[in-house]
Structure 1
Amino acid sequence: MNSFILPDIAAQTAPQSTALEWVGMCGIALPLQLNGQRLSAVADAGVSLDDPQARGIHMSRLYVALERLESTELTPANLRTLLQVFLDSHAGLSKAAYVSVRFQHLLKRPALISPLAGWKQYPIEIHARRVNGMFHVELFVQIAYSSTCPCSAALARQLIQERFIARFGTTAHLDHSQIVEWLGTSEGIVATPHSQRSFARIKVRLAQETAVFPLPGLIDRLEAALGTAVQTAVKRADEQAFALANGQNPMFCEDAARRLHSALSGAEGLQAFHLRVEHAESLHAHDAVAESQWRW
């Protein structure tokens, strides 16, 4: 049997006396439970190294502590407890603790008209920190939606008007059926506005009393504000309804940002938020971007 004591290099004095704000691990594979779902997540965990003489922290203690998230529902309270465990295991070394998890959250979304439904995944990040006894938790979610350019829509309507005049002139009495037929042809609708897949990236800081992560409700609120969230399973009736929604909701990136800002301003349980919308232009080779925030 080996009688040697295993060396603990981390317990040695640091060659340079400097405190560090964050030391830990990134990209830890971790199963989670949230809203009845079993999720495959990636976690980052760390603490501050406030003792400038200490060589390092005890990373294995952080790794082992993360196991408590495997069998319990992910809640702000459980993250608060986890961070306290981080600090207790680094007494005398650390005054601040941090953890973040990233995963894809699945929600089943109904079609607009038909009885179909399908699953949509939303990129989620949850960041929690405990510093000097204060606990903060922040939630990030990304929403994909369609945006129709208002300028393009106006230009397309003008071309249709010009084509109508060229076809029917200034005749006082027009044949109703002939016009209806003409409107259903490519000759009639000679131009269509351009739309693009767009993304809203939302960060919110939750109130201290928040008991559960409000993901479904928050996502519903954001998608309702935009009006044109991307769909899952669709039939032709759903595609037509989506075309109608795009036609009735043309928006620049500035419009989308203002809609989301208004929706978040009326949400309960938020201490602050930051939002960024990106319209992946189908006209230009660059993207259009707008940002807004409240108390961030």
Structure 2
Amino acid sequence: MTENPTLPTAMPDVASSSQAQISGTLDWVGMSQIELPILVSADQTAPRHVSAKVEAYVNLPKAHAKGIHMSRLYVALDKLSLESSLDLAQVKTLLNDFLSSHDDLSDKAFVRFSFDYHLRSNALISDNQGWRNYPVVLTGRMEEGELTLEMQVDIAYSSTCPCSAALARQLIQEAFEHKFHGEEQVNAETVKQWLGSTQGVVATPHSQRSIAQVKVKLDGSDVSLPIARTVASVEHALKTPVQATVKREDEQEFARLNGQNLMFVEDAARRVKYALEQQPQIVDFWLQVNHLESLHAHDAVAVATKGIANGYSPV
């Protein structure tokens, strides 16, 4: 006689069938550092693959519920990775999927994508291009049916200290006076040659790599992520973004731009703030500019917000 095969038994689901050892509500439960390849749709250009790290959460407002279904969050993210591109509409769809898969447990959902996004950059003078990298963080939150979308971009630039420039000019003036003191007439060619020597330019102002961190809340009217648009707006305001491909003529132009755009950290913050105020799709913004000082061991920092009611707090 042939024995009947063993029928599969239902596997236990402890998260659904048991209660919490200690009751209490939780603001967020989920996963972080999820590594996924994501197709990003930005600025109405062709979607581009990036390597992203993702955080995914739902809340747990039921005090006695054991836990959430974390695998359901991952499955929704995996589906996005394989079948769609990341844009603002897909963030909304993803958060709704988080909630529909936890309709008996949660009423809030949160997701954050962190990735590097590369843009092509023209050289300042020479006929060259190169890649510039911009760290991007895209955050979505669904609460009481209301979607909040936030994008952060870090933008590197150069800043030259106005005070240092003034002090350097004074030293050059003093060197000129010492060199040509007592001469009633000074030959222009002689002065030109002297200015091109190390004795002529005896001091230079200090400059440093700087970072503008920009957070913007988006109204969702533009489905694709406005990465390039935001970067272009900030870099145009600052005038001295760091460069990719650099030939000698590009380096000289970069020096000229720094000399013509001397700025304290306050100046840089005001420039960026004004530029963001001109973008109608930005509901609110927060910015922090960081001058990574070459003179001091500390950094110079300025923070600004749009200043709307119930908007971003400066700190």
Q: TM-score, normalised by structure 1?
A: 0.97
Give the residue type in structure 2 aligned to 1:10: A
Secondary structure of the residue aligned to 1:193 is coil
The Cα offsets for residues 61-96 of structure 1, whole Å up to 9 and x where unpaired, read as 000011232232211111101100110000121010
1:55 maps to a residue whose letter is K
Partner SS, residue 133 of structure 2: strand
**Pair 1:27 & 2:39 matched:** no
Alpha-carbon offset, residue 4 of structure 1: 4.0
Distance 1:164 1:2 in 2: 97
Determine whether 1:228 maps to 2:228.
no
Q: Given that residues 136 and 208 in structure 1 are in contact (C-alpha distance below 8 angstroms), is that contact kept between their aligned partners in structure 2?
A: no
Are residues 1:42 and 2:42 paired? no
Post-superposition CA distance 1:78-134 (Å, at most 9, x none): 110110011000012101001110100010101000011111110000000000110
1:69 paired residue number: 80
Q: Does 1:150 align with 2:184?
A: no
The structure 2 residue matched to 1:8, chosen from 5, 13, 17, is 13
SS of the residue aligned with 2:232? helix
Counterpart in 2 of 1:246?
258
- Matches for 1:151-230 after TM superposition, within 5 Å: 151-230=163-242
C-alpha distance after superposition, 1:159-182 (max 9, x if no partner): 000010111125332111100011
**What code does the residue aligned with 2:11 have?**
L
CA separation in 1, counterparts of 2:25 and 2:107?
11
**Aligned residue number for residue 137 of structure 2:** 125
CA distance in 2, matches of 1:210, 1:20: 34
Counterpart amino acid of residue 287 in structure 1: D
Specify which of 115, 126, 130 is matched with residue 127 of structure 2. 115
Q: What letter is aligned with 1:19?
A: T
Find the aligned partners of 1:206 and 1:238 in 2 and give their Cα distance. Answer: 35
Q: Is the partner of 2:63 in helix, strand or coil? A: coil
- 5 Å-filtered alignment, 1:79-90, equals 79-90=91-102
Matched residues, number:
296
TM-aligned CA deviation for residue 210 of structure 1: 3.1
Structure 2: stretches of 5+ with no match in the other structure: 1-5, 42-46
3-state SS in 1 of match to 2:109: strand
Are positions 1:54 and 2:59 aligned together? no
- Structure 1 CA distance, aligned partners of 2:241 and 2:108? 39
Moved more, 53-62 or 10-19: 10-19
Query: Which stretch shows the higher mean deviation, 134-143 or 69-78?
Result: 69-78
Unmatched 5+ stretches in structure 1 = none
After TM superposition, the score normalised by the length of structure 2 is 0.92
Name the aligned partner's letter for residue 76 of structure 1.
L
The Cα shift of 1:209 comes to 2.5
Report sequence identity in percent: 47
Secondary structure in 2 aligned to 1:52? coil
Q: Give the deviation of 1:7 after TM superposition.
A: 1.8
Partner of 2:286: 274
- CA deviation digits over 1:183-232, x for unaligned, max 9? 00010000000010110100000014232111111111111111110001
Give secondary structure in 1 for the equivalent of 2:199.
coil
Q: Distance in 1 between matches of 2:166 and 2:79?
A: 56
Aligned-residue Cα RMSD (Å) equals 1.1
In the TM superposition, what whole-angstrom CA distance separates every residue of 1:8-29 from its partner, at most 9, and x where no partner exists? Answer: 1211111222111100000111
